[in-house]
Amino acid sequence: MTTESRHVLVTGAASGIGAAVAAGFAADGWTVTGVDLREAPLRASLEGLAATPIVADLAEPDAPERVVRRAWESGGPLDALVNAAGIYPARAFLDLDAALWDRVQAVNVRAPMLAVRAYAALAVAAGRPGSVVNISSGAALRARPGAAHYSTSKAALEMLTKAAAVELGGAGIRVNAVSPGFVTVDSAANPVTEEYAAAVSVNPLGRRGRPGDIAAAVRWLVSPAAEWVTGTILRVDGGASAGTTTLPTHWPELTDVQTPGLDPEGGHL
């Protein structure tokens, strides 16, 4: 990463992936503005960093733009935006109502859209290039019980990432996403059972993800090393999206039809 003083806005910075992203950028010498709904955890997460906390509920329609403008005006022009805030309530499809559906979409999709739009408008007006990284999820590719609202929101976020990349590339603004596999975050905002964690965390590399794994990918996407990368979804999941390691071999031997050079009637071709 460059040692030049730069400024990043990170949403969901009170814990988990967002907190690790904020800490990683601060360690690289960046000025950080961190946003979260929970004031005490946010301040604790940013304590000791060159960081400014902003408390906001990003589900409010005017909050994303207000937060971006405040960060830009108080901390200096932004060089990067990381949308890490998200909620993951468990609710069976038949019990899912409009209010919960709308809140998940508001936090997970609408807020990033509004934040990217506000950031891009300021950057274009100032003639500054920039970088956006949205935090997606493997749930964008595979539905799971109790997560219709969440999986839909992350699938939408990935298309939003591509659409914004197409429209903002000409202004020098790159837009990418990181799609984590299961990451141990011990989140009070989005708790999961150990049974669930064990079921979704199996992957070819054999360990659960850590917030630092995702933070490192985010910082690479923002860095000059990725200056020709935009509109991409980077899967950082230990190989989980490549395939499963939990299925047995479906049949141990070749049949006559499957054997190369063997006539199904018993002779050789």
Share in percent of the chain as helix, strand, coil (round to 5): 45, 15, 40
Question: Is 150 among the catalytic positions?
Answer: yes
Beta-bridge mates of residue 27: none
DSSP assignment of 53-84, as one string? EEE--TTSTTHHHHHHHHHHHHH---SEEEE-
Distances (CA, A) of 146 to 38, 67, 199, 240: 25, 31, 14, 20
Q: How many whole angstroms separate alpha carbon 9 and alpha carbon 120? A: 13
By three-state DSSP, how is residue 51 classified?
A: strand
Among 88, 119, 150, 196, the active-site one is 150
CB contact set of 81 (below 8 Å; sequence gap of 6+): 8, 9, 68, 115, 116, 119, 130, 131, 132, 133
Q: What is the helix (H) or strand (E) element at residue 199, kind and residue range?
A: helix 194-200
Q: How many whole angstroms separate alpha carbon 173 and alpha carbon 130? A: 5
Name the token pair of 140. 């964008």
Which residues are catalytic, by number? 150
